[in-house]
Amino acid sequence: MRAQRATARDVRHVAQAVLLTGFMTEAGHGLLELPFIEEVEKEVLALLDQGKTADDWKVPETLLERLPSVINEHDRQFREVRLGVVKAACERLDRMVSSAITRSKEGVESPASFSNSNSAGQSGR
């Protein structure tokens, strides 16, 4: 992603890392401000939409500048946070993905919109 080019797989993996980081931060185990993580999340999910609709996986410079902080926090959380918290975050992500797949099959929503609707009402997300 450093050369501003990515694949769908790259972006999906990054999206998962950003979402998990946000979930663990919401649970009280984050060192970054939640609004910062949410901004990065929106950019990553917008990139997923852009790639899906236009097959354009060019990564915005603003995302490249902010993403390392979130990925470093993700790594820290996996080293230091209790397994139960990590497990809960992973289960929440699994539910989101399952819901998004179901909606996609029904032709209801895009990947970016599932995050907003699925996490609404949970710590402001």
pLDDT in tens, 52-68: 999 999 999 999 999 99
Is residue 104 one of the residues assigned to a domain? yes
Arithmetic mean of pLDDT over the chain: 88
Q: How confident is the model at residue 97 (pLDDT cuts 50, 70, 90)?
A: very high
pLDDT by residue (tens digit) across 21-52? 999 999 999 999 999 999 999 999 999 999 99
CB 15 within 8 A of CB 45: yes
Strands (E), 1-125: none
**pTM score:** 0.82
**What is residue 121's predicted lDDT score, i.e. its pLDDT?**
39
**What is residue 29's predicted lDDT score, i.e. its pLDDT?**
98
Q: How many domains does the chain have?
A: 1
Question: Domain span at residue 50?
Answer: 8-119
Q: How far apart are CA 108 and CA 110, in angstroms?
A: 7
Is residue 3 one of the residues assigned to a domain? no
Neighbour-count burial for 43-59, b at 16+ CB within 10 Å, e otherwise: bbbebbebbbeeeebeb
Is residue 99 one of the residues assigned to a domain? yes
